[in-house]
Chains A and B, each alone.
Chain A
Amino acid sequence: MIAALRAARWALAGLPRPSVGLGLFPAVTVVVFLGPILVGLVGTLLPSFGILPALGGTEPTLKPWRDLLAAPGLTASIRLTLITGVAATLMSVALAFGIAAAWHGSRWFAVLRGVLPPLLAVPHAAFAIGFAFLVAPSGWIVRLLSPWATGWTRPPDIALVQDPWGIAYTLALVCKEVPFLVLAIAAALGQTGADGLLRAARSLGYGPVAAWVKVVLPLVYRQVRLPVLAVLAYSLSAVEPALVLAPTLPPPLTPLVLRWFADPDLALRFQAAAGAVLQSGLVGGAILLWLGGERAVALIGRRWACAGGRGGSGWGLRAVTAAGMALAVLAVAGSIAVLALWALARGWRFADPLPAGWTLDTLAAAWPGLAGPALNTLLIGAAAVGVGLVLVAGCLENGRRLPAALAGRALWLVYLPLLVPSVGFLFGIQVVLVAAGLDGRWPALVWAHLLYVLPYMFLALADPWRALDERYERSARALGAGPWRSFLRVRVPLLLRPLATAAAIGFSVSVAQYLPTLFAGSGRVATLTTEAVVLASGADRRVTAVYAFAQALLPLLAFAAAVGVPAWMHRRRRGMRTG
């Protein structure tokens, strides 16, 4: 019956019916990747009420929750989580929209769009470690300023990272979230007809910033609501930056819960599960509050838009946002640079602006230990990208024939892994994997990475996939090419550049994964990320820098390849260089 209806719908729409195989792609993708999130949430919820047969929990009880509430520092941890998370989100959203409002249409905005993707590709762990090397009391910034400006001849006794207020942690989150939001806004601007509306508002006498905020922002915000919520969820549950940069007594909720999960006392797993559920609840509550706040802001904003205020020239906002963005870009670039310096430093006494000499000894000494995790990182990433490309291409090829409204609703599903805190469901998944004997094995790892790789690849590829002129393939078919041939010989080569970009994005997301690697690997599979995070708490900056820099280097290489390979393959095709 349903099949008949569907066939009728295709016929009515005048579209070729997708083959049965193609129709399976979205179903498979949803079942394989979203089902487990639900299983994982339940698998975390049950232990929080004492049910975990593997550890002897068979009777429902409230004891895990009582233990959780009695845990020392819980209130302070929740407070820290909420303050840093909400502050980071508000600052990121304000700076990203401010940049777009102040610089829309300018050459600098276009330049920024080109600069941001590699910054976004820097893994959180590498950035957090580099950021610590940059702003710590003995960090590069203090060294550059000492002693001539500060008078310090030894590192000052001030908590510049892991400060009790989480300021360093919050700023680091902002540095990584603003590029993500600016790119999301830039993509949305292309779909809103913003230029025409702006022209209309300017001709009514509105200043550039007032025109953007009153006319373009409401339309763009609707398109970037999910990325904004993803930023909110991430800010409230970040792992690697929190481990490296947040205060430790107590830490934010996620590191606190991870501490309990890692405790040798297995009984703490129940309390940890309750903490993980609490973390999910915090994020869920924050998202609901944010959505409520949106309505209030929209109501006030609409009244304000119609009050007739024309706004000024916008130079103030231009200056402020440019300074903020420049700081964020410099912080990310500086963090990677300082990692490279430490990795190659022979010795670097305090207050010298640069190392005294250079050596490859640290690299050579680290290589035997580094090669294994590096290979694991590479292979898991390559496998995840390979599977991801097939699944995303299948879904998009199927989705191309769906009405746009349906495709819009599907976005919520795509974003689900980015909205649910990973600590909230990964334990439940680990329980299932252990029961199935799959934990620590390759399929489990690749699959856990795909949970995060897939959404980003989907988002990167969806627009170019739909934008490609259908008539290319139609003419190929008219020339006698079968569906596979026209797909492989026409669509894939024409989309080579977005495909390569999506692969690079997917690879960099995989390289960055910490918690999924830890849980799906049961802590037995080492990648550059897991090693770098472990080393970050140790003392030897040079060794830590080698691992963190290697972790940052892989995505950058992938991005260079994504630009270089299509450019080389199409070097004699002028029509392939733009668009």
Chain B
Amino acid sequence: MNGSLRIDGVSLAVAGQPVIGPLTLEVAPGAVVTLMGPSGCGKSSLLAFISGCLDPAFTARGRVLLDGRDLEGLPPERRRVGTLFQDDLLFPHLSVGGNLAFGLPASVRGRRTRAERVEAALADAGLAGFAARDPATLSGGQRARVALMRTLLAEPGALLLDEPFGKLDAALRDQMRAFVFARARAAGVPTLLVTHDAGDAEAAGGPVIVLESTREV
């Protein structure tokens, strides 16, 4: 309830073969829960199910509730579930500031106000003055930070992290973990992290649920 993300008996199957679950858990606002498991255990499919992008080849059971609201049947854009992917997926035709403004809701009106919000987010990410830059000129770590700020500016009700540190090199990874988890807690949204890296789980600091592959190998 009150702002939490609740996964209630969710299980996924492909062609009758169970892939994951049944799984029940609740993530409180500002908390980070980690799902750990080997690749192929279906954890990314679970995130796709929560965000409403599950491949139609899957059959799903169970419910997902965000702030007490059942998400079933809602298109992805109506769920208010923000996802940070392994790839930053910055839009290459927009500037860095344009990407952030893209995340900002339309209810924030006026070009001045929007630009100020974007600039504040950039400053928060240690990227003050980067608004006019082409995203292609940014380093991997900078791009990842912009992607997170873009997701948070959209004011999501929950945050899903789909192996977001997998493509960063080791030195950058620690920095990025600290940055992401601090921002997620500050935003006060329930955050669900899936990873196969124990270091991620440790840095997240919250409860860890270890998944085992149910698929025959």
Q: Could you list which residues of chain A lie within 8 angstroms of chain B, going by C-beta atoms?
A: 196-197, 199-208, 211, 214-215, 218-219, 302, 305-310, 313
Contacts and interface: CB of A to CB of B under 8 A. Distances in A.
B181 interface: no
Contact of A197 (B77, B91, B114): B91
B180 interface: no
Given A196-B85, A203-B83, A310-B105, 9 more contacts: A199-B89, A200-B91, A203-B81, A203-B156, A208-B75, A305-B102, A306-B114, A308-B106, A308-B114
B108 A308 contact: yes
Contact of A308 (B51, B80, B105): B105
Interface string B82-116: 11010101011110011001111111100000100
B53 interface: yes
Nearest to A199: B53
Given A196-B89, A197-B89, A308-B101, A313 B75 contact: yes
Nearest to A222: B93
B85 A308 contact: no
Interface of B: 51-53, 75-78, 80-83, 85, 87, 89, 91-94, 97-98, 101-108, 114, 150-151, 154, 156
A257 to B, nearest CB: 41
A201 B51 CA distance: 12
Contacts of A200: 83, 85, 89, 91
Contacts of A215: 91
A214 B94 CA distance: 10
Contacts of A199: 53, 76, 83, 85, 89
Given A305-B98, A308-B106, A205 B80 contact: yes
A30 to B, nearest CB: 32
A206 B103 CA distance: 9
16 contacts: A196-B89, A197-B89, A199-B76, A200-B83, A201-B91, A202-B75, A203-B53, A203-B77, A203-B81, A203-B83, A204-B150, A306-B94, A306-B98, A306-B114, A308-B105, A308-B106
B191 to A, nearest CB: 14
Given A306-B101, A310-B106, A202 B76 contact: yes
Contacts of A309: 106
Contacts of A207: 75, 77
Given A199-B53, A307-B106, A309-B106, A204 B154 contact: yes
A204 B151 contact: yes
- The list of the 7 closest CB pairs from A to B, nearest first, reads A306-B101, A308-B106, A200-B89, A202-B76, A218-B93, A203-B83, A204-B154
A308 B151 contact: no
A313 B53 CA distance: 15
Nearest to A314: B75
Contact of B94 (A202, A305, A308): A305
Residue in A205, A207, A305 with the greatest tally of chain B CB atoms within 10 Å: A205
Contacts of A208: 75, 77
Contacts of B85: 196, 199-200
Contacts of A211: 77
Contacts of B51: 203
Residue in A197, A204, A309 with the greatest tally of chain B CB atoms within 10 Å: A204
Contact of A306 (B87, B102, B105, B154): B102
Contacts of B104: 308
A164 B91 CA distance: 46
B108 A302 contact: no
B154 A205 contact: yes
A223 to B, nearest CB: 12
Contacts of B92: 219
B162 to A, nearest CB: 10
Nearest to A312: B77
A214 B77 CA distance: 14
Nearest to A217: B93
Contacts of A310: 77, 105-106
Residue in B102, B106, B114, B156 with the greatest tally of chain A CB atoms within 10 Å: B102
Given A206-B77, A214-B102, A302 B94 contact: yes
Nearest to B160: A203
Nearest to A207: B77
Contacts of A214: 102
A197 B80 CA distance: 17
A181 B34 CA distance: 46
Nearest to B78: A205
Contacts of A206: 77
A506 to B, nearest CB: 34
B186 to A, nearest CB: 19
Contacts of A205: 77-78, 80, 105, 154, 156
A210 to B, nearest CB: 8
Contacts of A201: 91, 102
Nearest to B103: A204
B114 A202 contact: no
Contacts of B108: 308
A311 to B, nearest CB: 8
A208 B98 CA distance: 19
A427 to B, nearest CB: 42
Given A196-B85, A196-B87, A204-B150, A308 B76 contact: no
Contacts of A202: 52-53, 75-77
B76 A203 contact: yes
B32 to A, nearest CB: 18
A204 B82 contact: yes
B91 A302 contact: no
A331 B77 CA distance: 36
